Structure formats: structure tokens, C-alpha cells
A and B are shown apart, each in its own frame.
Chain A
């Protein structure tokens, strides 16, 4: 196996691993509120989400095309250097995903990937490689807007839903909106698959173009690339990501089914509209804004601001932190010589060790599917829980 092929294989493995972490990190975006309200059993929810993420990866290839051709010009990575930067970026993003997962904080996988890329490029070329204006325009501004747009819509939708509930009756509404949640959560899952699985497809396609295995002129994503990326995303989603689901579904606010439906519908509308109009917003931040808005939209609803504060801190530091890890990975690789196979292998192995270490640490305070199952929780128990939780966390 030649040097370029070996590095290409390592990059593909890193991309698929990142896709896997993206899957379990972002399951919460679609399914947390459905699980929290007992609309779905946790395992059923993640399996539906996994299937729809898998399906979503095949719906279109526009995101993959954008990454493979639009973001990086076809000639840009026609060097082994480019592959090393992509590998370091993926490792930076993956490790930051795992760190935030360990600390049970929902954060944007896309921002982690961009951060990793910035860090690795910065380490490779220097400060001239990074455009601060681009970061503000493409990452910071959409991040802030996402929370407010979806939050306000979810707030208004929840208020409207509870106005209808006065006529409808609590029990009918609770039951009915649970069914609605299955549909709205499924739409978010599908949208996630079309966006996030394709980001990795784009990265793999980019690596293939740069090594001459794929034509940039007659660009198409090979079926095997689609399959491995969709499968990695689906497998990651199916493993649950219970820690982040717990935060998103239970710790931000106490969610009832009308709130869950409002949050998910608003999130789906925001994600799809922003994506369609070419101003993509972070799914994680959109959904978090939706859950907060839904929490505030119910009269007497409580949002646990300390938890929100932790999330905001994580969002702010995601980009620089992933950049630091990406830069560190590139520098470690570079210690073994420019474009050294050994360097590529060493950083991949180190990433594996860190991932295993975080997984082992997470076992100390595990969150399981059983802990989150609310399908047998009666309204009375739910009310008691909400009452018990509110004074302590408000």
C-alpha cells in the first residue's frame, strides 16, 4: 500500500468515526423531547431516528457536493498535505464531540468540524489561513440567530397549543400531541440525515478527489461512500447518546407533549427553511432554542437557566476547543516528519486511546435507556416530578 493510499484509508476511517460520534451526539436533537414525554420508548425512538438518518443520507447529495466541490476547490487538496489537515480536523472534531458527550452537553458537531479544520489549517499554514470575518459570518452569527428564531417560534407555537388545550382538555391533548411528536421528530431525524451524513460523505469524496480516485469534473458520490457514511451515522444514532438526550429532554425544562411537539415542529421548520434558503443553522442550537422557547411558552413553565448557561459556554468554546485539538493533532503528526505515514497512524491511534478513555470514564455515571423511559409515567407522577424539580433548579 502506497503512502497516499494509507493516509487516504486513515482519513476515511477518521471520517466514518466522526460520523459515528455525530450520530450519537445528535440523536438528542430529534428524539429527546419524544422520549421525555413518553411518546416513544427510548430504544424505539433511537431506532426510528437511525433508520431515518440512514434514509436521509440518500435523499440528495447537495451538501456532499458543496463540501467536496464548493467548499474546497478541486485543486486545493491535490497534495498529501491536504489529507493530513483533513485527518487532524476530523480528529479534533471527533474528540471535542466525545468531550461534550462525556460532560452531557449538546454542542454542534458541524461547528466542531469547522473548528478542527481551522485549527489544523492554522497549525499547517499559520494565521493567514484563517478568515475571522468568515468565522463570524458563517458560524457565530447563524449560531446566535438559530437560538432566537426557533426559540421565538416555539414559544408562540406552545402558547397557541395551550390556548387550544383549554378547549380540548388536558388528557386528549397529551395523548394526541404524543402521536404528533412521532411525526415531527421523524422529520427532524430525516433532515439531520440529509445534512450531517452528507458532510462526511463530502469529506470522504474530497479525499478521493484529492488522491485521484474520483473525478472532480464528473462528480458523483460513489455508492460505497454513501453506504458507509449512512451506516456509520445510523449506527451512531442507534447507540443512543442517552447522556445528551437526558440533558436536552429533561434538564433544560420539564417537557409535556404539546411543548415537545411545538419544539420539534419549530425546529424542523427552522432547519428546513434555513437549509433551503442557503443559510444553514446548527441543528443542535436550533433544537435547543426550540426546547427553551417551548419551556417558556407554557404558563408557569420553567427553564433551568444554569443548564442553559453550561450549554452556551460549550457552544462558545466549541470552535476554539476543536481548533486546539485539531492543531495539536496536526503538530503531533508533524513531529514525525512532513507528510509522514507514521504521524498519520500515531494521531489516529492517540484519538482511539482518548475515545476509549472517555468511554471508560463515562461508565462511572452511566445514563441508560431505562433511566429515560417515560412511557409508563402517569400524569400524576409527571406533575410530582415537575414540582420536585422546579424549586431546586429554578
Chain B
């Protein structure tokens, strides 16, 4: 199946996409969950009135670190948008619409 699909699927790009998507997609959701969890721990320590500075500091630290991770992922995402690599010119063999005849010379392909 993999071998059969090789000519039509760019597996080199595909595995990179899968790894990055897994890391970023799951990472952000988990990191954001820890932001909320850290805030809850800090809030609970404050509300308890027990002056548990360790819990409060730990919660806030967890929130800040995970918050920074989330922001960093967003920044990397925006950077990736801005620095999107330009595509190579179309090759006839991978074109969707290939040149044919003198009358219409329109060619279309994806990357």
C-alpha cells in the first residue's frame, strides 16, 4: 500500500507534517491545560488563606512556563506563515492541466 502510494504521496513532506502537527497540536492543548491547572492551584492557595507560598508560586510558575510555550508555538506559526517557501515552477508531469495545442497554453499545477 505504502509502495503503491509512493508515486502520488510526498511521504518525505508527509512525515514531517505529521510529526510537527502531533507535537504542536497536542502540545499546545496540553500546555494550555497546564496553564489553567497552574492558575487553579495558585488561586486555590490564595483562596485557602493558608499562605501556602510554595503552592502559589509553583502554580504561577507552571502557568507562566506553559503560557510561554503556547505563545512560542503561535509565534512560530506566524513566522512559518510569513516565511512560507515559494514553490518550484510547474513541471508538466505533475501538472493538473498541461499545455496542449497552440490555441490554449494554460498550465496549472500545485506545488
Check: B95 CB closer than 8 A to any chain A CB.
yes
- Majority SS of interface residues in chain B? helix
User: Cβ of A276: which chain B residues have Cβ within 8 Å of it?
Assistant: 20, 80, 83-85
- Majority SS of interface residues in chain A? helix
User: Cβ of A273: which chain B residues have Cβ within 8 Å of it?
Assistant: 16-17, 20-21, 24, 80
B77, B83, B87, B97: most-surrounded residue (chain A CB, <10 A): B97
The A-contacting residues of B in range 55-85, CB under 8 angstroms, are 70, 74, 77-78, 80-85
B30 touches A164 (CB 8 A): yes
B74 touches A183 (CB 8 A): yes
B96 touches A117 (CB 8 A): yes
Instruction: Give min CB distance, B77 to chain A, whole Å.
Output: 5
Query: Residue of B at shortest CB range from A153?
Result: B25
B9 touches A277 (CB 8 A): no
B26 touches A153 (CB 8 A): yes
9-residue interface stretch from A75-83, A220-228, A307-315: A75-83
B17 touches A274 (CB 8 A): yes
A71 touches B105 (CB 8 A): no
User: Cβ of B80: which chain A residues have Cβ within 8 Å of it?
Assistant: 272-273, 275-276
Whole-angstrom distance between the alpha carbons of A269 and B20 in the complex?
Answer: 7
Check: B53 CB closer than 8 A to any chain A CB.
no
A82 touches B21 (CB 8 A): no
A149 touches B21 (CB 8 A): yes
Check: B94 CB closer than 8 A to any chain A CB.
yes
B21 touches A131 (CB 8 A): no
> Given the interface contacts A121-B97, A124-B103, does A280 sit within 8 Å of B108 by beta carbon?
no
B111 touches A176 (CB 8 A): no
The B-contacting residues of A in range 279-323, CB under 8 angstroms, are 279-280
User: Cβ of B30: which chain A residues have Cβ within 8 Å of it?
Assistant: 157, 160-161, 164
Instruction: Give min CB distance, B76 to chain A, whole Å.
Output: 8
Check: B3 CB closer than 8 A to any chain A CB.
no
Whole-angstrom distance between the alpha carbons of A167 and B37 in the complex?
Answer: 8
Instruction: Give min CB distance, A96 to chain B, whole Å.
Output: 16
Instruction: Give min CB distance, B46 to chain A, whole Å.
Output: 15
B81 touches A265 (CB 8 A): no
B33 touches A164 (CB 8 A): yes
User: Cβ of A135: which chain B residues have Cβ within 8 Å of it?
Assistant: 96
Query: Residue of B at shortest CB range from A161?
Result: B29
Whole-angstrom distance between the alpha carbons of A268 and B18 in the complex?
Answer: 13
The A-contacting residues of B in range 1-27, CB under 8 angstroms, are 5, 7-10, 13-14, 16-18, 20-22, 24-26
> Given the interface contacts A145-B14, A266-B25, does A70 sit within 8 Å of B87 by beta carbon?
yes
Check: A14 CB closer than 8 A to any chain B CB.
no
User: Cβ of A141: which chain B residues have Cβ within 8 Å of it?
Assistant: 5, 8-9
Check: A118 CB closer than 8 A to any chain B CB.
yes
B96 touches A138 (CB 8 A): yes
B28 touches A265 (CB 8 A): yes
> Given the interface contacts A129-B97, A269-B20, does A164 sit within 8 Å of B34 by beta carbon?
yes
User: Cβ of B93: which chain A residues have Cβ within 8 Å of it?
Assistant: 131, 133-134
A280 touches B111 (CB 8 A): yes
Instruction: Give min CB distance, A37 to chain B, whole Å.
Output: 14
Q: A75-B105, A273-B80 are in contact. List 15 more A-B contacts (CB 8 A).
A: A77-B106, A129-B97, A129-B100, A133-B8, A138-B109, A149-B21, A157-B29, A176-B36, A184-B28, A191-B77, A261-B29, A266-B26, A273-B17, A276-B85, A279-B17
Q: Which residues of A contact B (CB under 8 A)?
A: 56, 59-60, 62-63, 65-66, 69-73, 75-79, 81-82, 85-86, 114, 117-118, 121, 124-126, 128-131, 133-141, 145, 149-150, 153-154, 156-158, 160-161, 164-165, 167-169, 172-173, 176-177, 180, 183-184, 187, 190-191, 194, 258, 261-262, 265-266, 268-270, 272-280
